[in-house]
Structure 1
Amino acid sequence: MLSQLPVKVISLRRSGRRQRIAETLSTHCVDFDFVDAVDANEIPSSEFDRLYDDAAARLRYGRSLSKGEVACFVSHRRLWEAVAASEHGVIVLEDDALLDLAFFKKVVRWHGRKLSHFADIVLLGRSKLSRSSGRRAYLYEPLKRSQPFDGMTIGLPFKQWTSGSVGYWISPRGAALALAHSVGPVRALLDDWPWHRDGGSLRIMELRPYVVWEGFESIASDIEAERNPLISGRTRWKDLLLEPLRFVRLVLRWSIATVIRVIARFDTAAAVNHD
């Protein structure tokens, strides 16, 4: 099978995860390259101070970013430089990505130019979400505006947040916008998609169903252990109190999404009749 879209796998050289994903991609005859990630352990303190704006990060998140989070952002940004200088979008994977069959049968065969007409970035999956929880995620997080694409659905969710970077497609235009917005010291999380969207004017969409999953349940993360002490957890009783509100939000979101789809169909029919 020949893929239309280049696949780039961001990975630390010392990572022990390269062989697994290389075998998976090679089994499906996907052409791919490894992109060496910046190793947080090798960044001198003086260099880290130049790479990172702690005041800006604390202002946005109420905490500092870990060295691993900063290194992750810099790693992806270096790849964006190559994408922005090219004529083709790429699929970016992290080396703990787990891939569904639809990734090979459909996504790698996408025509990037057609996709770039309405999106700069398409998120192909979400971190810290198991396959078994996917249907619940689709139920509670419907797409506000969507359109069919190659037998799947791509659209704008009601809420974008720090949902991971385990797998995404990015166009040359998207890479250029992301670079322009993030120039200088790192001041946000790489996967803070609202930050990229609002400040960088990127059109960030999601794919449904997801085709990329993070192997967080079986593959240890280089960033997670360092980040966890910086994040305050939410207790179980707070989650239980929020459950009724989530249900109300679910009903409202699906109602709004339905109305938007009906209006879009009406507008399309009216345009056809007018022609």
Structure 2
Amino acid sequence: MNYKTFLINLDRSPQRLADAKKQLDALDMSFERVSAADGSQLTPEERACFDKNTAQKRYHYDLTWGEVGCYLSHLKCWQKIVDEKLDYAIILEDDLHLQDDFNKVPELLEQLKTPWSFIKLGNPFKPRKETPVETLARFNLVRYDKAPSGTCAQVVSYQGAKALLAARSLFFRPVDVDLQWQWEVPIKILGLTPYVAGHNLSFDSDIQQIDQRKNKAKRSGVRLREQLRFFYHSKLRGE
């Protein structure tokens, strides 16, 4: 299959690039660096991709510019998948820690019989309920009741990238939260477990260094309404 590994990395973060390259080189995995959108230096056109009006109705705070930059960086990777007509891409963020069997991912993907468009390769945050849908040796392809947070490592297919780009030329949630709303994006999020990637805890968040989400005014009423909306749609879909 025709695929690439994309590594999202800020131009001002050479140490992260060096650390990620060392890990990928050790696993004999080639990669292409994707220059991340820097939340501290966004152009007016890039800032306009954040849909503030919808956020005020549907999300409990206005995104930080770091979160906007993160979303834009993933959009750039999805666009590259489509432009280059890749079957899929492995998309990595640079503050990652790879397991020794990470390089088995392409081989495992070749063996899958279950149709897929987006597969999580890591979940560094809150565990989620996982239901196996296919087994490959010691690995399981799983579905979730609610997709895990975080976007440290994932695989996105050509069709998945097209769907994501069509749905989100404008966005109002952080990218990992947006992906949890699978019926809106629309895309089905699966996972490969045991996870082969996680966060490198020695690095601080680039997103939070730009501005802090805790400093953003919160809309508690919007949050409660959206939680109920999410619960309703999840039950409607049997998730």
Q: TM-score range by the shorter chain?
A: 0.7 to 0.9
TM-score, normalised via structure 2 length = 0.80
Relative distance call for 1:95 and 1:62 in structure 2 (3 A) is same
Structure-1 residue corresponding to 2:12? 14
| Preserved CA contact (<8 Å) 2:114 2:134 | no
Q: Is 2:215 the counterpart of 1:218?
A: no
Structure 2: distance between partners of 1:81 and 1:116 = 26
Structure-2 residue corresponding to 1:203? 188
Q: Is 2:122 the counterpart of 1:125?
A: yes
Q: Give 1:64's aligned amino acid.
A: D
Q: Give 1:123's aligned amino acid.
A: K
Q: Is 2:143 the counterpart of 1:159?
A: no
Structure-2 residue corresponding to 1:67? 65
Structure 2: distance between partners of 1:49 and 1:21 = 28
Structure-1 residue corresponding to 2:221? none
Q: Name the SS for the 1:191 alignment partner.
A: helix
Q: Give 1:119's aligned amino acid.
A: W
Q: Give 1:202's aligned amino acid.
A: I
Percent of pairs identical after alignment? 25
Q: Give 1:12's aligned amino acid.
A: L
Structure 2: distance between partners of 1:98 and 1:90 = 18
Structure 2: distance between partners of 1:80 and 1:91 = 10
| Preserved CA contact (<8 Å) 1:145 1:157 | no
Structure 2: distance between partners of 1:26 and 1:232 = 43
Q: Is 2:22 the counterpart of 1:23?
A: yes
Relative distance call for 1:51 and 1:116 in structure 2 (3 A) is farther
Shift of 1:28: 1.8
Shift of 1:58: 3.1
Structure-1 residue corresponding to 2:155? 169
Please, which runs of 5 or more residues in structure 2 have no aligned partner?
219-237
Structure 1: distance between partners of 2:101 and 2:3 = 14
Structure-2 residue corresponding to 1:264? none
Q: Name the SS for the 2:172 alignment partner.
A: coil
Structure 2: distance between partners of 1:142 and 1:49 = 35
Relative distance call for 1:84 and 1:5 in structure 2 (3 A) is closer
| Preserved CA contact (<8 Å) 2:4 2:86 | no
Larger fraction in helix: 1
TM-score, normalised via structure 1 length = 0.71
Structure 2: distance between partners of 1:6 and 1:62 = 36
Structure 1: distance between partners of 2:45 and 2:3 = 34
